[in-house]
Amino acid sequence: MNFGKWIVVAFVVFTLFIGTLVTICVREDINLVRPDYYQEELVHQNKMTFIQNTKTLASLPDISVSGNVLTVSFADYDQLEKGELLLLRPSDMKLDRKFRLSATSKHMQQFPLEVWSKGLYRASMQWTMGGKEFYYEKLIVL
């Protein structure tokens, strides 16, 4: 028996298998949650301070979805200096959206969702009120 021929065949099959795996891995689209993910992680302690500030509030914001409308209810909108609401889609950053929050006497702001894909979103609200920064986050499913 000539084992040399089978060793060469096994080596060629193994090489083709590894080449196929490399080709599949290179074609796979891998998205970070955000393009500036690493810079965001560097300011993580600031975010933790903002969350602690939020826990001291008498009333927290409420983010909900009803039909095709995203509603953000917050009792202290009249004291809001500036703010924004980010909706991040972990599986596809092309579906991320940013909304500006403004001071208003109403206790809610609404945003239409007609063009949104169904799935999991991370809603994060960051705002300034009384010279302090606040941060609130909630997972929502459309």
Question: Do 61 and 73 meet the contact criterion of CB atoms below 8 Å apart?
Answer: yes
Query: Which phi-psi region, left, alpha or beta, contains residue 131 (left: φ > 0; alpha: ψ -120 to 50)?
Result: left
Q: pTM for this one?
A: 0.70
Question: For residue 117, what pLDDT is reported?
Answer: 82
- How far is C-alpha 13 from the geometric centre of its chain's CA atoms? 42
pLDDT tens, 57-116? 888 999 998 888 889 999 888 888 899 999 888 888 788 888 999 888 888 899 887 777
Q: State phi, psi for 88 to the nearest 5 degrees.
A: -110, 130
Tokens representing residue 102 in the block: 């403004």
What single letter denotes the amino acid at residue 10? A
Domain spans in the chain, listed from the N-terminal domain onward? 1-30, 37-141
Longest dimension (CA), the chain: 90
Q: State phi, psi for 2 to the nearest 5 degrees.
A: -110, 105
| CA distance linking residue 76 with residue 61, whole number of Å | 9
Name the CATH topology of 37-141: Immunoglobulin-like (2.60.40)
What single letter denotes the amino acid at residue 83? G
Question: For residue 41, what pLDDT is reported?
Answer: 74
Question: Do 126 and 138 meet the contact criterion of CB atoms below 8 Å apart?
Answer: no
